[in-house]
């Protein structure tokens, strides 16, 4: 198969992953605002889709980290990138259909690492970059649960003598702002990961000079496709995050979305590809635990945790097997 055909295949599968990622991650942006009934499900997904698209234009720092910070670009071929995307897309699709919120970042990075190891070996990996990304993915949930907890404690302190009805009315309006911030920050972080993969494929095929710049059409297409995926709404995942993990009111939704936005925008500004799913889920847990630990359904949280733990190695193995298959076929 010619390189040009392979690169077209990479772009197609990468955009399919971007769509599936938006589909799964729609819950990240709107689960809380739907469960608190501040917005209808249809209005919420449409709003999130538009703001996901807008967030894709925030910066390209994360895209460059994915594209040149994890592996040696000169050792990457379009086959490797295609195998990585096939593995990540397959895992994300099945987890979404199963109603489990998983990390698109873990899927993508695990797929890329697995495909590289199966093709040219671990020597092609930039271990400093891999370490940086994994540390960001590990610590972002800790930041999420901490910021969520303390923001909620702060709100409770200032509104301790105010009636619950008034508080829910005020924060019902404020949650419209926080959900917009959450959807925008999601696009700012997650859409960039696929931009980095597509640009990597273009560079490996000699169709783009370097990873120092991301083509505008790549930014535009990733933003559109992720926005469309979000607008589809992953309803099973939304139910898991918004209804099953912890019962929340508008004030809790505001605190969770605001704290998640703070963590995500901070990560995007320094080029750290963190997991939106990990961040918002941990923020919901942090906010819910301010009432009492039993307010969080830790059994559901445990299932989500299992999906997180297995995502990176599972995608690595699946992508590696896809590479072996492609190597036989091509």
180, 51 Cβ separation under 8 angstroms: yes
Predicted pLDDT of residue 318: 95
Distance from C-alpha of 284 to C-alpha of 41, rounded to nearest angstrom: 19
Q: How would you classify residue 271: left for phi > 0, otherwise alpha for psi between -120 and 50, otherwise beta?
A: left
Distance from C-alpha of 150 to C-alpha of 130, rounded to nearest angstrom: 30
- 200 CB burial (10 A radius; 0-12, 13-18, 19+): buried
State whether residue 252 is helix, strand or coil.
helix
* Residue ranges of the chain whose pLDDT lies below 50: 237, 241-245, 294-295, 298
Domain span including residue 107: 3-329
Distance from C-alpha of 277 to C-alpha of 311, rounded to nearest angstrom: 12
Distance from C-alpha of 30 to C-alpha of 101, rounded to nearest angstrom: 13
How does pLDDT run across 58-78, given as a tens digit for each residue? 777 777 777 777 887 777 888
Tokens of 152: 């909620």
**Nearest residue to 225 (alpha-carbon basis) of 194, 188, 181:** 194
Predicted pLDDT of residue 75: 77
35, 179 Cβ separation under 8 angstroms: no
What DSSP designation does 325 have?
Answer: H
Distance from C-alpha of 156 to C-alpha of 147, rounded to nearest angstrom: 14
The total of structural domains in the chain comes to 1
Question: Which residues 6+ apart lie within 8 Å of 248 measured at CB?
Answer: 32, 35, 36, 242, 256, 284, 287, 288
How does pLDDT run across 267-286, given as a tens digit for each residue? 877 777 777 777 887 888 88
Rounding to the nearest 10 degrees, give the CA dihedral for residues 37, 42, 44, 45.
140
Question: Which residues 6+ apart lie within 8 Å of 194 measured at CB?
Answer: 14, 15, 17, 18, 21, 108, 222, 226
How does pLDDT run across 210-241, given as a tens digit for each residue? 888 889 999 999 888 887 877 776 555 455 54
């Amino acid at each position: 198969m010619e390189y040009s055909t392979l690169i077209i295949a990479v772009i197609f599968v990468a955009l399919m992953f971007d769509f599936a990622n938006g589909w799964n991650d729609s819950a990240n942006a709107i689960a809380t605002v739907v469960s608190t009934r501040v917005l209808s499900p249809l209005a919420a997904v449409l709003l999130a889709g538009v703001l996901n698209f807008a967030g894709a234009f925030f910066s390209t720092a994360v895209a460059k980290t994915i594209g040149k910070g994890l592996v040696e670009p000169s050792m990457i071929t379009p086959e490797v990138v295609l195998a990585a995307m096939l593995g990540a897309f397959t895992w994300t699709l099945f987890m979404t259909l199963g109603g489990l919120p998983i990390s698109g970042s873990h899927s993508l990075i695990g797929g890329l690492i697995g495909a590289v190891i199966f093709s040219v070996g671990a020597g092609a990996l930039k271990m400093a970059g891999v370490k940086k990304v994994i540390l960001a993915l590990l610590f972002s949930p800790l930041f999420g649960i901490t910021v969520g907890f303390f923001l909620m404690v702060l709100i409770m302190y200032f509104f301790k003598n105010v009636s619950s009805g008034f508080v829910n009315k005020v924060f019902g309006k404020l949650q419209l702002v926080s959900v917009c911030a959450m959807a925008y920050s999601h696009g700012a972080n997650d859409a960039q990961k696929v931009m980095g993969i597509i640009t990597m494929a273009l560079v490996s095929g000699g169709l783009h000079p370097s990873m120092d710049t991301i083509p505008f059409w790549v930014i535009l297409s990733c933003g559109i496709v992720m926005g469309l995926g979000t607008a589809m709404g992953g309803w099973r995942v939304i139910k898991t995050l918004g209804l099953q993990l912890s019962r929340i009111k508008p004030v809790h939704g505001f605190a969770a979305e605001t704290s998640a936005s703070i963590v995500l925008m901070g990560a995007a500004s320094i080029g750290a590809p963190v997991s939106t799913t990990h961040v918002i889920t941990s923020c919901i847990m942090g906010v819910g635990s301010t009432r009492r630990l039993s307010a969080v359904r830790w059994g559901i949280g445990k299932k989500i945790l299992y999906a997180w733990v297995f995502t990176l190695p599972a995608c690595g193995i699946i992508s590696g097997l896809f590479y072996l298959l492609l190597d036989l076929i091509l």
